[in-house]
Amino acid sequence: MKRLVLLLSVLLVACSNDNAPDVSSEAAAADARQTLQQAASTDGKALYVACAGCHGAQGEGNVALSSPSLANQQTWYLERQLLGFRSGLRGSHPEDGYGAQMQAIAKTLPDDNAVKAVVGYIATFKAKPAAKTLDGNIKRGADYYSNLCGSCHGPAAEGNELLQAPALAGVDDWYLLKQFNHFRDGVRGADESDRYGYQMGMMGKILPDDDIANDVIVYIQSLAD
Ligand code: HEC
Ligand code: HEC
């Protein structure tokens, strides 16, 4: 019994850690906000200094800080997400600790011009191979992907600006799975005024179980090869 209690409390800590930023990422966030308070809103490169501590000097991402790669993502999507963080549409759910952290940083960007300038600088980064940390049944993932996801995200998960559905191929797999689960659980996209997030929120409930969600992400990663 004692063992079970111990196991349960370890699991609880593990779960809460997933959503609560640790000391090192809180320190990086404080540094970033300080840097942003001093940067000019037109200088994308100077603004990006504040982002590099978590997302990497070339937008390569950092799994230890739960920070996704930005280098492979489309600029219209990056811009819309930053504006969503700024307005509070994203990162406001009480269980979205990392989203809240990113929201505070986005709000410290001096103004909306600064959003454009920093995304313009990110667009100069070379694409990088996405992190592959998951294994699964690619064939089963492919079937579910083509039936349920491809109509919006594109047959090669290349994204579709008209539908505002981002590229998924080339984005770190751990991040895709985490975001998918956040949509499923209403941690992201639960607010109806978050037009595109809400659409994806409904899709988060469409896959029957965790194993299949895992397989779909593994398939998406295979498309970036
Ligand atoms: C303290 C670490 C930290 C710093 C500094 C930081 N970010 Fe983030 N960022 C994150 C985390 C963590 C996430 C993932 C949030 C989530 O899980 O929803 C994120 C998410 C994002 C996203 C959404 C990507 C997507 O595909 O959904 C964008 C865009 C972004 N950050 C841009 C920036 C920019 C631009 C800066 C600099 C002005 C910056 N970030 C600074 C930690 C950071
Ligand atoms: C009706 C169109 C639509 C369908 C179908 C759809 N999505 Fe999405 N998806 C979106 C939109 C729009 C967004 C952007 C949401 C936002 O702006 O917050 C998105 C975002 C995502 C993200 C977050 C990416 C990131 O970098 O933050 C993931 C992961 C995702 N979708 C996976 C899937 C999977 C897996 C399926 C199939 C089960 C699927 N989607 C089906 C429209 C769709």
- For 109-135, give one letter per residue: b (16+ CB within 10 A) or e: bbeeebbbbbbbbbeebeebebbeeee
Domain end (from 58, 88, 122): 122
Q: Are 122 and 70 in contact (CB under 8 A)?
A: yes
**How many CB atoms are located within 10 Å of the residue 106 CB?**
22
55 lines ligand 1 (CB under 6 A): yes
Ligand nearest the Cα atom of residue 145 = 2
**Residue 157 placed within a domain:** yes
**Residue 209 placed within a domain:** yes
Distance CA 25, CA 29 (A): 6
The residue among 164 and 1 whose pLDDT is bigger is: 164
Domain end (from 87, 122, 157): 122
Q: Are 35 and 51 in contact (CB under 8 A)?
A: no
pLDDT in tens, 10-65: 444 344 446 789 999 999 999 999 988 888 888 999 999 999 999 999 999 999 99
- Of all protein residues, the one whose alpha carbon is nearest to atom 32 of ligand 1 is 82
Please give the torsion angle defined by the CA atoms of residues 120, 50, 26 and 86, in that order, rounded to the nearest 10 degrees: -40
| Parent domain of 147 | 138-223
In sequence order, the 6+-apart residues with CB closer than 8 A to the CB of 56 are 62, 67, 69
pLDDT in tens, 121-167: 999 999 888 888 999 999 999 999 999 999 999 999 999 999 999 99
Residue 1 has pLDDT above 80, yes or no: no
If asked whether residues 49 and 112 sit together in one domain, one would say: yes
Q: Are 71 and 45 in contact (CB under 8 A)?
A: no
- Of all protein residues, the one whose alpha carbon is nearest to atom 21 of ligand 1 is 102
Distance CA 98, CA 18 (A): 9
Find the range with the poorest average confidence among 88-92, 124-128, 177-181.
124-128
If asked whether residues 85 and 149 sit together in one domain, one would say: no
If asked whether residues 152 and 101 sit together in one domain, one would say: no
Long-range CB contact pairs, 148-157, < 8 A, 24+: 148/203, 148/206, 148/207, 149/203, 149/216, 152/203, 156/223, 157/220, 157/223, 157/224
- Of all protein residues, the one whose alpha carbon is nearest to atom 15 of ligand 1 is 99
Residue 69 has pLDDT above 70, yes or no: yes
Distance CA 63, CA 65 (A): 5
Domain end (from 122, 151, 172): 122
Give residue 95's pLDDT.
Answer: 96
**Residue 184 placed within a domain:** yes
Highest average pLDDT, of 1-15, 76-90, 121-135, comes from: 76-90
Cα 162 to chain center, whole Å?
20
**Residue 130 placed within a domain:** no
**Residue 133 placed within a domain:** no
Give residue 15's pLDDT.
Answer: 41
Please give the structure tokens belonging to residue 23: 């000391």
Q: Which of 18, 54, 109, 112 to mutate to test the pocket of ligand 1 (most atoms within 8 A of CB)?
A: 54
**Residue 132 placed within a domain:** no
pLDDT band of residue 3 (cuts 50, 70, 90) is: low
51 lines ligand 1 (CB under 6 A): yes
**Residue 127 placed within a domain:** no
In Å, what is the CA distance from 181 to each residue of 78, 94, 200?
20, 15, 11
Q: Which of 153, 172, 218 to mutate to test the pocket of ligand 2 (most atoms within 8 A of CB)?
A: 153
If asked whether residues 106 and 156 sit together in one domain, one would say: no
Q: Which of 105, 109, 111, 220 to mutate to test the pocket of ligand 1 (most atoms within 8 A of CB)?
A: 105
Give residue 194's pLDDT.
Answer: 95
Tell me which DSSP letter residue 62 carries: B
The number of domains in the chain is 2
**Residue 96 placed within a domain:** yes
- The ligand 2 atom at the shortest distance from the C-alpha of residue 206 is 38
Mean pLDDT of the chain: 91
If asked whether residues 100 and 15 sit together in one domain, one would say: yes
Q: CA 4, 10, 14, 19 torsion: positive or negative?
A: positive
Q: What predicted TM-score, i.e. pTM, was given to this entire model?
A: 0.92
